Amino acid sequence: MTTADEVIPADYRDLLERPLYGHLATARRDGGVQVEPMWFEFDGEFILFTHTSKRQKYRNLMANPAAALSVNDPDQPYRFLEVRGVLDHVDPDPEGAFYRQLARRYGREDQAPPDAADRVILYIRPTATAQQ
């Protein structure tokens, strides 16, 4: 299996390591697409997102595991990385621990989310990139 190390260009990896917002696209079951800004973290193998099992994006990914993430460099607006991938697995996060980890990464208040009971961690496996 191709590893994330082989997929993510080394000179664009900083865009996954810095606490930048990523815009995550998924396929809707009505044939459309959707995209929203999201916190994320790259663990070297997967791109992780905090989400809940009650939302549209979760239902989208259960029906079609395709995802794509766009991150641009606020310091050089022409510079961006798109990572395409697939949902590999989902872990429960019932205490909101991963949510809190991301909140700290993004400089936000470290407290459990009100919807902790429904919180999950989405693990997206990168399969391809485009960059400029």
Q: Are 20 and 71 in contact (CB under 8 A)?
A: yes
> Of 5, 11, 36, 110, which lies in the binding site for its own copies, with binding defined by CB under 8 A?
36
Q: Does 72 bind its own copies (CB under 8 A)?
A: yes
Neighbours of 32 (CB within 10 A): 8
CB of 98 to its own copies, least distance (A): 19
Q: Does 7 bind its own copies (CB under 8 A)?
A: no
86 CB-near residues (< 8 Å, 6+ apart) = 65, 66, 67, 124, 125, 127
> Of 10, 32, 76, 109, which lies in the binding site for its own copies, with binding defined by CB under 8 A?
32
How is residue 95 written in tokens?
């205490």
Q: Does 114 bind its own copies (CB under 8 A)?
A: no
**Total length of the chain:** 132
Q: Which residues of this chain interact with its own copies, rule CB under 8 A?
A: 21, 23-28, 31-37, 64, 66-70, 72, 74, 77, 80, 82, 84, 106, 130
